[in-house]
Amino acid sequence: TSFPLLCFRSPLVTPLIFGLLLQALFTQPSTITQPNFVLLLADDLGIGDVGCYGNDTIRTPNIDRLAKEGVKLTQHIAAAPLCTPSRAAFLTGRYPLRSGMDAINDYRVIFWNAGSGGLPPNETTFAKILQHQGYSTGLIGKWHQGVNCESRTDHCHHPLKHGFDYFYGMPFTLISDCQPTETPEMDRAFRRKLWLSTQMIGLITLTAVLGRLTGLISVHWKTLTCLAGFSLLFFISWFSSYGFVRYWNCIVMRNHGITEQPMVTDRTTSLILKESISFIERNKHKPFLLFLSFLHSHTPLITTEKFLGRSRHGLYGDNVEEMDWMVGQVLDAIDKEGLTDTTLVYFASDHGGWLERREGERQLGGWNGIYKGGKAMGGWEGGIRVPGIFRWPGVLPAGTVIDEPTSLMDIYPTVVHLAGGAVPQDRVIDGRDLLPLLRGAAARSEHQFLFHYCGAHLHAARWHQKDTGAVWKAHYVTPIFSPPGAGACYDRGHCPCFGEGVTHHEPPLLFELSRDPSEAKPLSADTEPLFDTVIRKIGRAVEEHRRTLTPVPEQLSVSNVVWKPWLQPCCGTFPFCWCDKEGDN
């Protein structure tokens, strides 16, 4: 009697079993709980500098390999066109204005390790959430989110206060001042004015003394002494900071301790790579987050000897090719430890390439491909559209290209959800979970609008019209290029956000990026029937967005940005700050 019953059940059992197998196949990615994360963030790299984004003269085989084995985003947008605010948004999943990490003044990034501004302690980074989920979290490389608040040992803005178990790298950023052979870069124009003022005050003092000695001027010695004292104090007041930039800013830390002050740039690249691979090896038996924040390809373009002269684009190309080699070394370490299938690798740049950065005939900044503008320009695509690549074998479909609008802020909820955590509910999170889009489960980005700031000033906004796939972008403010038509602000060194160096547009300049990604042909009511509708739609979205902003302390205010000697990290007894613990080893 059992045989007929089995025959009767088999037509029902077979499809049931087949359905269960299919379900297991399609839900397999979700069974990989708590993958490892390796987040690779380049510094000042232009989208046009990478092979898989169209560059056929700079060799980037390892970054290209990531794209081939994973998902490439073609409309990946930074939340700001400069390092400090863009990285704050990346770490928190929020527009930098929400945490006070964007400026209303010209000081749009953290200028000193001894400033008091930085990523506020009440901000919750993705590293902090992953730490609570049992992850080992490490940051290797550049931080540029501040160090101290009230004393040189409170470390209120330090990576270890923001969810990282381990930190090795620069609390500041790489600048040309770190290389003794290079022309100083930091606040160059302001320094020239200070030197000129010092020389003028000194000349006036010297003239007065000579006039008094020769009897040509009747002035009291007491007055001359005061004038000379003022000259000396004025000189000390600025030279004590700007005269020692290399010692104050160009330092390397391991956790809270300083290992190099000033840093020895010849070995920086090898040490950062060694620390990155060591972190992977130490934490291979538990979930880990490695945020490798490259010093490449920021000036002074520190490049080891074996890569010098290899590219067709001078020192900048050499530097990018070395960074690509470093990416390859990290990928090899992941493969060697058998972690490839359980590790999500992400590669991006913090913002667009720096078009104005050149010394004589040498171009030291990046290239942004077909996109207008570059670093420091909050509205034009060249300043904010960056490479964005994800690889997770067996989970993300290889060789996929996605043209939907995405943001560096999206890393936050994506990483948090994959780690089994929850995004904070007590604040606005502007990022969106990318996993459905990356896996092909969703056809459209969750972003309907993205807002593009230059400092604290809204310069542009984009609308992703999901029913048609069109991407509209309205520019309210644009920088005035100098010289005219040059495509950048070469006379200034970088483009401003406000004042005489910008143009306000009423009505706004409108582009449809899906048809005109280079923003070459602004639309008008005469050429685009939907012009008024689109402008009104974006305008209402801007108003709604502004209603979500709440006042917070300005971390980049002048008082927070200036150098404060009592906050200066020092590995000796201030002001005698010097050490080389790596050399001792």
Hey, which residues are catalytic here?
83, 144
In the numeric block, which tokens belong to residue 342? 């359980």
For residues 237 and 303, what is the distance between their CA atoms, to the nearest angstrom? Answer: 35
- Other C-beta atoms lying within 10 Å of the C-beta of residue 448: 14
Cα 249 → chain centroid = 18
Q: Which residues neighbour 421 within 8 Å (Cβ) at sequence distance 6 or greater?
A: 129, 130, 132, 133
Distances (CA, A) of 72 to 156, 180, 319, 446, 469: 36, 39, 23, 17, 18
- Decide: 108 and 556 in contact? Cβ < 8 Å: yes
Residue ranges with strand state E in 150-277: 166-170, 252-254, 257-261
- Decide: 182 and 176 in contact? Cβ < 8 Å: yes
Considering only CA atoms, which of 443, 435, 444 is closest in space to residue 37? 435
3-class state of residue 323 by DSSP = helix
Q: Which residues neighbour 179 within 8 Å (Cβ) at sequence distance 6 or greater?
A: 265, 300, 302
* Class of residue 236 by CB neighbours under 10 A (exposed 0-12, middle 13-18, buried 19+): exposed
List phi, psi (to 5°) of 528: -130, 110
Residue ranges with strand state E in 333-487: 343-349, 358-359, 362-363, 385-391, 400-402, 406-407, 449-454, 457-465, 470-479
* Cα dihedral 383→83→137→584 (10° resolution): 130
Name beta bridge partners: 358: 363
For residues 286 and 419, what is the distance between their CA atoms, to the nearest angstrom? Answer: 12
Q: Which residues neighbour 81 within 8 Å (Cβ) at sequence distance 6 or greater?
A: 351, 352, 374, 375, 376, 377, 378, 383, 384, 454
Considering only CA atoms, which of 495, 541, 451, 479 is closest in space to residue 97? 451
